[in-house]
Amino acid sequence: MKGFLLGFLLGTALGWAQQQPSTPRTTTPLPDYDTVVAALKTIDPNILKYFPRWRVCEPNLMIQIHQAFLLLGYPADELDMQRIIVTAAPTVVRPDEEFEILLIECGNARMVSSEIEANIRSLASFLSHPKRPYCYEDIPPSVPPTPAQLEAIVNFTMPTHVGHAISVSLFEQSLKLGRSGFWLRANLGADPIGYHFWSAGVAHVLLQRPLIRNADERTQKAIPHLLDAVLGVGYRITGGLDPTFLGGVIPVRKLNTDAGGRLLAGVDFSFPFYPHAGTALHVEIPLRSIDPSHSINPQTYAILPLGLDRDPLRAEDPTVQIFSDSVVPLLRSTGRWTLFYNWWPDPDRPIHFFRFDVGISYAEVQEAALVRHPDGSTALAREGIRGLNTYKPREFGDWLYLRLEYRNQSSFPFGIALQYSNQILLGRAYVPLIGRWLYLEGKYATPLRPLRPFETRHFFMVSPLFRITL
């Protein structure tokens, strides 16, 4: 490839020379590699785009380069620390040889090789290291020399501007199936109602399918589809009952879902006349009722003792043998309806992103009693048992759903989200650890009302987040 580039440059130089008026022909030696590189110090954009170029994303290095431009008198209003691009000449002797830096761009300001050599030689030496031991992003030769702007995306873990994407954390795993727009997802917990990780006792497998394409050229990269349908199933998890797990750092699970499974369906619809905004409806329902004819393994369920302020459970049928001093809380139907709005303050450079959601949410938890059959098996029952509670929305705060998300996708991409739902505050944040593929994600939840028996006052969990895009 390097030989092709050099041949191309030499051919271009010779072709240019042959087109110039000249005196009678004389034999002229071909320009060597050093001559061509020296000529490029004027930075011809038509030739420059065929040379190696990369965007610097190492925060400390970006600060040094930005400060160097400032100290050398470049106007501050032309500088942009988030847009630092290095252009170099390819090496031709050995693959482990240093690059020769031809140009450093910081926003709209440029420093050519002669200025680099005279002013920031040591910094250029580090930039030209053959292994480039810092964070960088290569710019393909087909991309024009002008800095490519960041592309707007709505969901960090489910980017729309790439062909393939994989995101893996303890909270959720997602896979984009090529340019089709299909997403296959698996997650743990019920975040929309404030119960993340295993605190809800449920996990999901989902398929998200696009149905209507967005014809608006201004927004179709960030929002390629106006209508996305989600269909999935939920299943019961049995972990989270061991108080010694991870040294007791993670709270013990107190909530369950029944073994009958759950069905989840939803749609996200962006308005055709203004795709930045839209509405969403998601519903999750259990596939069977609480039926005492189905035997269970009580060791896989979170069983809570009755509080001192409650009377023992009583069965209307005296022949039914129940454990009157304990209950099993079961998560039943949930859902939410929201209006949302996606906002980039600067659409031309969408580094900052905000999303606002407002609407209503619904969550229902039913208590069940443990009953013993004549054959010694155990089951869950609700009908005919007195003293069981049902928790569902009863006041305005129980219904209200609010969510605010902020994302910064510059050289140090991070994101923060705050949600109020079911009178529970849920926070999520992620920060980069290594490059743009390994992040640290954390979630924290706490009820803002009197604590219910199956809830934990403070539930904090962190996880590595691997994110790969192709």
Average pLDDT for residues 253-261, to the nearest whole number?
92
41: pLDDT strictly greater than 80: no
User: In whole angstroms, what separates CA 149 from the centre of its chain?
Assistant: 19
Position 130 scores a pLDDT of: 84
**Cβ atoms 258, 330 nearer than 8 A:** yes
Longest dimension (CA), the chain: 120
Average pLDDT for residues 27-50, to the nearest whole number?
50
Helix, strand, coil abundance in the chain, percent, nearest 5:
15, 40, 40
Q: Where is pLDDT greater, at 17 or 192?
A: 192
Position 458 scores a pLDDT of: 92
9: pLDDT strictly greater than 60: no
Average pLDDT for residues 356-375, to the nearest whole number?
95
5: pLDDT strictly greater than 60: no
Most confident of 5-14, 95-104, 161-170, 444-453: 444-453
Residue 95's CB is within 10 A of a number of other CB atoms, namely 9
Q: Where is pLDDT greater, at 46 or 401?
A: 401
Position 25 scores a pLDDT of: 40
Q: Determine which helix (DSSP H) or strand (DSSP E) holds 111, and give its type and residue range.
A: strand 109-112
Q: Which of 78-82, 165-169, 383-387 has the lowest mean pLDDT?
A: 78-82
Q: In sequence order, which residues have a C-beta less than 8 Å from that of residue 239 and are 6 or more positions away?
A: 198, 245, 253
236: pLDDT strictly greater than 80: yes
Average pLDDT for residues 404-408, to the nearest whole number?
95
Q: Where is pLDDT greater, at 431 or 155?
A: 431
pLDDT-derived band at 100 (thresholds 50, 70, 90) equals: confident
Q: Which of 293, 327, 322 is nearest to 310 (CA)?
A: 327
Position 217 scores a pLDDT of: 84
Within the chain, how many helices (H) and strands (E) appear? 7, 27
Position 418 scores a pLDDT of: 98
Q: Which of 239, 227, 317 is nearest to 279 (CA)?
A: 227
Position 47 scores a pLDDT of: 60
21: pLDDT strictly greater than 90: no
Residue 263's CB is within 10 A of a number of other CB atoms, namely 13
6: pLDDT strictly greater than 80: no
Position 28 scores a pLDDT of: 42
Read off φ and ψ for residue 182, nearest 5 degrees. Answer: -75, 140
Q: What percent of the chain has pLDDT over 70?
A: 85
Position 303 scores a pLDDT of: 95
pLDDT-derived band at 385 (thresholds 50, 70, 90) equals: very high
Average pLDDT for residues 105-123, to the nearest whole number?
87
Q: What percent of the chain has pLDDT over 90?
A: 54
Position 90 scores a pLDDT of: 65
pLDDT-derived band at 97 (thresholds 50, 70, 90) equals: low
**Both structure tokens of 364:** 């229902």
Cα atoms in the 13 Å half-sphere on the side-chain side of 166: 6
Position 18 scores a pLDDT of: 40
Position 19 scores a pLDDT of: 41
Position 17 scores a pLDDT of: 39
**Cβ atoms 159, 80 nearer than 8 A:** no
Residue 441's CB is within 10 A of a number of other CB atoms, namely 22
26: pLDDT strictly greater than 60: no
- Tell me which DSSP letter residue 317 carries: S
Position 148 scores a pLDDT of: 34
**Cβ atoms 109, 116 nearer than 8 A:** no
Q: Where is pLDDT greater, at 374 or 284?
A: 284
**Burial (0-12, 13-18, 19+ Cβ within 10 Å), 76:** exposed
Q: Where is pLDDT greater, at 28 or 376?
A: 376
**Both structure tokens of 48:** 């420059």
Most confident of 343-352, 396-405, 460-469: 396-405
